[in-house]
Amino acid sequence: MNKPNDLAEVREKFYQDIDGLSMAPLWEVFRSLITHSPKTAALPHCWRYEDVRDWVLRAGDVISAREAERRVLVLENPGLRGQTRITNSLYAGLQLILPGEVAPSHRHSQSALRFIIEGTGGYTAVDGERAYMTQGDLILTPPMTWHDHGSEGDGPTVWLDGLDIPIIQTFDASFLEGFHEESQPSTRSPGDSRARYGRNMRPIDTSLTNTSSPVFSYPYDDYREALEKMRVQEEWDPCHGLKLTFINPQTGGPVMPTIAAFVQLLPKEFSTAPYRSTDGTIYTVVEGLGRAHVGDEEFQLTPRDIFVVPSWCPFRLDAEEDLVLFSFSDRSAQEKLCLWREQRGNDGDTK
């Protein structure tokens, strides 16, 4: 029988021999691969807008939108530095367009959303239709749709980009194409997609196979009004306050196959119960003041701040004023793969 030291040497020699065949022993890494609960290197973090805004604007002095193609400062999670991601599955950044600029038209495999942080007069064109940007608007660019950005305004326009770049990298499924002109021609008037699909109606005989929403602009005024009308019912969820999900009006499902988007209202002095879920989530403050308790971190929240809640990280909110938050996550992808789970309350059931 081999002695312990002999056995260790036998194993090490075995590992070295199979390494030459591009093989490795599962038992050495099994418990790090298949864990009892989600483990992530992503960390809770908050980007205070007053701290980063000047750097976003200074990027306009460093490079033009045309030269950069997309002039963005990436929000890199401190636990994932160098990986160009804010969670393991999602990318986020702050993009700048200055008056008179155009970010050239292209299309790609990645799904993308834009949440407008500041500015007026900017626009995104998607498949021949322009959507003009106002603070708080949500604009989508679904996979393989032609899109460009520009500005007819007098000042800078800044928005939060959210893309599923890491998910597409996982599948080695990335494609990028440039349009033959800097800007795509306008073939539909602004608001055309909302007229067709945003009134609880759709053109007859329309195919329902599109997994992304045919409505790509969700104006702030519309969803803010919805929140105000719903708040009179006092139907406050203990973990979320009043929370809505943006949907594909053709299917009732999420706006894009890999990214889900949400908005929520917490009334003044409302504190949520502890909550966690498997979808790492990126939040930005639309209105109000409050505090976010994410794991062992506490973030004071002011308008336009951005913070990330990693997967399965305990999380709760305190509203010092009426607090409106926009958020996005990979929940839609996780639900399709039967992976998504949540836990409500300190001793709540995991579902």
Q: Among positive and negative, which fits the CA dihedral 44, 174, 67, 256? A: negative
For residue 94, what are its two tokens?
Answer: 């702050």
Helix (H) and strand (E) counts for the chain? Answer: 8, 22
- For residue 51, CA distances in Å to 56, 65, 86, 136 come to 10, 22, 18, 20
- Please, which contacts does 200-209 make with residues 24 or more away whose CB atoms are closer than 8 Å? 200/249, 202/249, 202/250, 206/250, 208/250, 208/251
* Residue 328 confidence (pLDDT): 98
For residue 193, what are its two tokens?
Answer: 């997609």
* Residue 351 confidence (pLDDT): 63
Q: What is the pLDDT of residues 47-76, one digit of tens each?
A: 999 999 999 999 999 999 999 999 999 999
pLDDT over threshold 70, residue 4: no
78 conformational bin, left if phi > 0, alpha if psi -120 to 50, beta if neither? alpha
Mean per-residue pLDDT over the chain, rounded: 94
* Residue 254 confidence (pLDDT): 94
* Residue 350 confidence (pLDDT): 60
Instruction: Name the helix (H) or strand (E) containing 47.
Output: strand 45-47
Tell which residue, 247, 336, 309, 312, has the closest CA to residue 92.
Answer: 309
The CB-side HSE value for 311 (13 A sphere, CA atoms) comes to 20
Q: Is 3 helix (H, G, I), strand (E, B) or coil?
A: coil
Percent of the chain with pLDDT over 70: 97
Report the greatest alpha carbon distance in the chain: 82
- Reported as a pLDDT band with limits 50, 70 and 90, residue 19 is very high
> Which has the minimum average pLDDT: 106-115, 189-198, 279-288?
189-198
* Residue 241 confidence (pLDDT): 97
pLDDT over threshold 90, residue 205: no
* Residue 327 confidence (pLDDT): 98
* Residue 349 confidence (pLDDT): 57
Tell me which residue has tokens 């939108």.
Answer: 65
Contact 79, 41 (CB under 8 A): yes
Tell me which residue has tokens 């502890």.
Answer: 274
How many Cβ atoms are within 10 Å of 183's Cβ, its own excluded?
16
* Residue 133 confidence (pLDDT): 94
* Residue 197 confidence (pLDDT): 85
Helix runs in 174-325, H state only: 192-197, 220-231
pLDDT over threshold 70, residue 348: no
pLDDT over threshold 60, residue 1: no
* Residue 222 confidence (pLDDT): 93
Contact 87, 42 (CB under 8 A): yes
pLDDT over threshold 60, residue 265: yes
Contact 71, 136 (CB under 8 A): no
Task: Quote the CA–CA distance of 141 and 125 in Å, as a whole number.
Answer: 9
Q: What is the pLDDT of residues 291-347, one digit of tens each?
A: 999 999 999 999 999 999 999 999 999 999 999 999 999 999 999 999 999 999 976
Q: What is the pLDDT of residues 180-194, one digit of tens each?
A: 999 988 899 888 888
Q: What is the pLDDT of residues 114-155, one digit of tens each?
A: 999 999 999 999 999 999 999 999 999 999 999 999 999 999
For residue 27, what are its two tokens?
Answer: 């038992």
Domains and their CATH numbers in the chain: 45-344 (2.60.120.10)
Question: In angstroms, what is the C-alpha Rg of the chain?
Answer: 23
| Type of residue numbered 110 | Q
* Residue 305 confidence (pLDDT): 98
- Reported as a pLDDT band with limits 50, 70 and 90, residue 211 is confident
Task: Quote the CA–CA distance of 22 and 159 in Å, as a whole number.
Answer: 45
